[in-house]
Structures are given as C-alpha cells and as structure tokens.
Amino acid sequence: QYFDKVLSFSPTDLNALNNKGISLNRLKRHDEAIVCFDKAISIDPDNIKANNNKGLALIDLKKYSEAVQCFERVLNI
C-alpha cells in the first residue's frame, strides 16, 4: 500500500498517517483508522485534521462522547 511505503521511509509523516486513516475509515476499518489518527495526534497534538478525522471515525463506531471530545479539541486549537 502506498501509505505504508511512505511511512516506512518517514514514520512521522502527518499527511501519510492522516490519509491512511481516512482510507481505512472509508473501508469501514474504523479501529485501524483511529490508530493512524492517534499516531498523528501523538506527534502533533494540535493537528486539526487528525483530531477531526478521529472524531468522524468515532461517530462511525457510535462512540459519540469520545467524538465530541475530539471536536472540542479542534475548536480549542
């Protein structure tokens, strides 16, 4: 997979982590997507895209209170 190749060379590439997470979420692999978003957030806690996309993945998992926390983080950044 393209994103895995990019991440093998640059494991902290925020765009690759976020885009991989988006792709996994669209494939209904929500838990795996959240792992990608969490990695991006651990590198840059103020990463708006990763925090927002994690919230969207949590909505897909019906984890609404956790999703709201992600969106609140985005609003506070």
Angle between helices 14-26 and 2-9 (to 10 degrees): 160
**What proportion of the chain, given as a percentage, has pLDDT over 70?**
100
Instruction: Dig out the tokens for 54 from the structure.
Output: 């994690």
**pLDDT at residue 2 in the model:** 86
In angstroms, how far is the first alpha carbon of the chain from the final one? 32
Residue 1: pLDDT over 80: no
Over range 4-15, report the average pLDDT.
93
pLDDT tens by residue, 25-60 = 999 999 999 999 999 999 999 999 999 999 999 999
**pLDDT at residue 48 in the model:** 97
